[in-house]
Amino acid sequence: MAERFYRITVGGVLTDRLAAAFEPLRLAGVEEGRTALSGVCTDSAALYGVLDRIRDLGLELLEVESSDVVPQTLCRVRQPSPW
């Protein structure tokens, strides 16, 4: 699986501390009792890790969106490997 951008919406309002548990995704917004997390998952294992945490915390999964295009606001600069 190639690197993809994801936006995952869960029911409820997550605190910044709880949202930090969903690396590599970041808190993208909260509205009307829903929290959106977004970011790039490098492979399916990373995505399933996030989904497992949602399940383990008893959160309601409302929506999963994916795209092979990363929004410009989330583009990251890759550091060259020292190796």
Q: How many Cβ atoms from other residues are within 10 Å of residue 34's Cβ? A: 16
pTM score of the predicted model: 0.78
pLDDT value of position 79: 41
**Predicted pLDDT of residue 81:** 40
For the chain, domains (ranges, CATH) are: 4-68 (3.30.70)
Q: pLDDT by residue (tens digit) across 32-55?
A: 899 999 999 988 899 999 999 999
Chain centroid offset of residue 52 CA? 12
Cis-peptide, bond into residue 24, ω within 30° of zero: yes
56-81 pLDDT tens trace: 999 999 999 998 877 665 444 344 44
